[in-house]
Amino acid sequence: MNSFITLCQQSIGEEHVLLDEFDLQPYLTEWRKRATGKAIAIVLPATTEEVSALVKLCVQFNINIVPQGGNTGLVIGSIPTRTSDVIDTIVLSLRRLNRIRSVDATNNTMIVEAGCQLHTVQDAATQHERLFPLSLASEGSCTIGGNLSTNAGGTAVLRYGNMRDLCLGLEVVTADGEIWNGLRGLRKDNTGYDLRDLYIGAEGTLGIITAAVLKLFPKPTAQFTALCAVNNIEDAVSLLHFTQNQCANKLTAFELISKFALSLVQKHFPHLSNTIPTKSPYYVLLEISEYKSESEIERMNQLEMVCEKAFENHLIQDAIIATSNEQAKTLWQLRESISEAQAKEGKNIKHDISLPISSIANFVQQTDALLQQAYPTCRLVTFGHVGDGNLHYNVSPPIGEDAQEFLAQQNQINRIVYDSVNQFNGSISAEHGIGTLKKEELVLYKSATELNLMRAIKLALDPHNIMNPGKII
């Protein structure tokens, strides 16, 4: 082992191979502090060639590799999880591989390294009067490599797609240390199997993404935001279609929030409580982006028109339309504070699921009823990117009852929720991935054919099984 460490130090510099227990901890502790791992070392290469050299050393010494970006993943995928007595894993952090290599405003693309934080990439696009639209609450910490490896979603998928849709090409260090340069900024390239699509969403189990060509878009000239009260989820889905018919792809966000989710924000963020309506069972936060000149926009505020017509058609009961950027920010804060409000309320059982949009209302009605039958006092926190069919469908313990006792029933609760998801042809992981958290569920809900194809891909691309072992399959 000593010779392995010495060779790593010679490859990337002694100071970039962390060995001290104290230095290792932040890289070995999962974001929500649900798990910690063990590793021989944390290695921090700064170039693709250094990544390649390290992977070749790992193959030679039969050492496992956990690639890591910002360590904000939510499925316990970015830390080592093997429990054997022998510590045989390194964490390969991409944080130092963080340059914007180039911006091609004419081609509407940029080439960035995997360790660039998402907010840095957004800022670099803005400097060139372009938009990189991926938007997550973790954007101050997560990295492009992590976003690609989890095929991240967020609030702008409705208009711009998820990370897979925002990437035109990749540079990858394969599991045997070879460098594949697929950094082409092409929107059309039908030359055989799509290798890029294999590495996107692979959660570091097939190779290490070192750089990517990302798509850029025109920046909106203005954005309008409203919070609309709706009677039920059916009306929320009708409002989605209505707004899409009126505004086409100018609709850039459509988020559902239940009354109970808002009440948690009210409880734990009292400074926001003046702005929080709580009469309706559900609310929709919608955003329309305009790409016209300011004078054209002034003549016609499309969001006001949409809300007026939706009100006349009884789709919405009420609406708060933001009249300033400040007010729009506050409305978004309500949505973005839900996860933290839930964390302050205590532990809960989370489900990041997706469904055909046409089935969302029936799914919620059926699954709420099943849960309430089995656990009459449980509290359901329902919100999410409903414009993409993605719900965060979380189950909180009853007030005043033993939370640990309730959480011990996680497997039974998951079974009710995921069986229902499966019945409606949905997915048990909409945007966070599988990691180790949903590994057992994956086997229950994928067909044998799908699982065999996935195993064959893993074996072909990572024949030594050193890439993030124990994750996904």
Give the strands of the sheet with 17-18, arranged side by side. Answer: 17-18, 41-43, 89-93, 64-68
Tokens for 424, please give them: 């409606």
Is 169 one of the binding residues for ligand FAD (CB under 6 A)?
A: no
Is 226 one of the binding residues for ligand FAD (CB under 6 A)?
A: no
Question: What letter does residue 322 receive in the DSSP assignment?
Answer: P
Site string for ligand FAD, 314-343 (x = CB under 6 A): -------------------------x----
Rounded to an integer, what distance in angstroms lies between the CA atom of residue 8 and that of residue 54?
Answer: 6
Query: Whole-number minimum distance, CB 69 to ligand FAD, in Å?
Result: 3
List 138, 330, 348, 394, residue binding ligand FAD (CB under 6 A): 138
Q: Please, which residue, 77 or 169, has the CB nearer to ligand FAD?
A: 77
Is 217 one of the binding residues for ligand FAD (CB under 6 A)?
A: no
Is 74 one of the binding residues for ligand FAD (CB under 6 A)?
A: yes
Q: How many residues bind ligand FAD (CB under 6 A)?
A: 36
Name the burial class of residue 84, with classes exposed (0-12), middle (13-18) and buried (19+) by CB atoms within 10 angstroms of its CB: exposed
SS3 per-residue string spanning 154-223: ECCHHHHCCHHHHEEEEEEEECCCCEEEECCCCCCCCCCCCHHHHHCCCCCCCEEEEEEEEECEECCCEE
**Contact region for ligand FAD (CB under 6 A) — 74-82, 212-220, 311-319, 416-424?**
74-82
143 with 116: CB under 8 angstroms? yes
Is 11 one of the binding residues for ligand FAD (CB under 6 A)?
A: no
Q: What are 208's strand-pairing partners?
A: 173
List 57, 116, 136, 381, residue binding ligand FAD (CB under 6 A): 136
Rounded to an integer, what distance in angstroms lies between the CA atom of residue 470 and that of residue 82?
Answer: 7
Site string for ligand FAD, 25-44 (x = CB under 6 A): ------x-------------
Distances (CA, A) of 34 to 29, 30, 74, 87: 8, 6, 10, 20
Is 177 one of the binding residues for ligand FAD (CB under 6 A)?
A: no
CA dihedral 42, 46, 49, 51 (to 10 degrees): 20
Query: Whole-number minimum distance, CB 460 to ligand FAD, in Å?
Result: 17
Segment holding 283, helix H or strand E: strand 282-290
List 37, 45, 73, 387, residue binding ligand FAD (CB under 6 A): 73
Is 382 one of the binding residues for ligand FAD (CB under 6 A)?
A: no
DSSP labels, 346-361: ---B--EEE--GGGHH
Q: Which of 46, 201, 213, 68 is nearest to 143 (CA)?
A: 68
**Contact region for ligand FAD (CB under 6 A) — 13-21, 139-147, 343-351, 362-370?**
139-147
Q: Which residue is nearest to ligand FAD (CB)?
A: 146
Q: Which residues of 142-178 are buried (b: 16+ CB within 10 A; e: fewer)?
A: bbbbbbbbbbbbbbbbbbbbbbeebbbbbbbbbbbbe
**Contact region for ligand FAD (CB under 6 A) — 54-62, 98-106, 138-146, 408-416?**
138-146
Query: Whole-number minimum distance, CB 469 to ligand FAD, in Å?
Result: 11
- Tokens 């339309």 identify what position? 321
Degrees, nearest 5: CA angle 63-64-67 = 130
List 5, 66, 131, 256, residue binding ligand FAD (CB under 6 A): 66
Is 114 one of the binding residues for ligand FAD (CB under 6 A)?
A: yes
Q: Please, which residue, 119 or 259, has the CB nearer to ligand FAD?
A: 119
Query: Whole-number minimum distance, CB 352 to ligand FAD, in Å?
Result: 8
Q: Please, which residue, 207 or 397, has the CB nearer to ligand FAD?
A: 207
Name the burial class of residue 473, with classes exposed (0-12), middle (13-18) and buried (19+) by CB atoms within 10 angstroms of its CB: middle
Question: What letter does residue 397 receive in the DSSP assignment?
Answer: P
Q: Please, which residue, 72 or 243, has the CB nearer to ligand FAD?
A: 72
**Contact region for ligand FAD (CB under 6 A) — 70-78, 341-349, 417-425, 451-459?**
70-78
Footprint on this chain of ligand FAD (rule: CB under 6 A): 31, 66-74, 77-78, 94, 114, 136-138, 142-143, 145-147, 149-150, 152-154, 203-204, 208-209, 339, 431-432, 468, 471
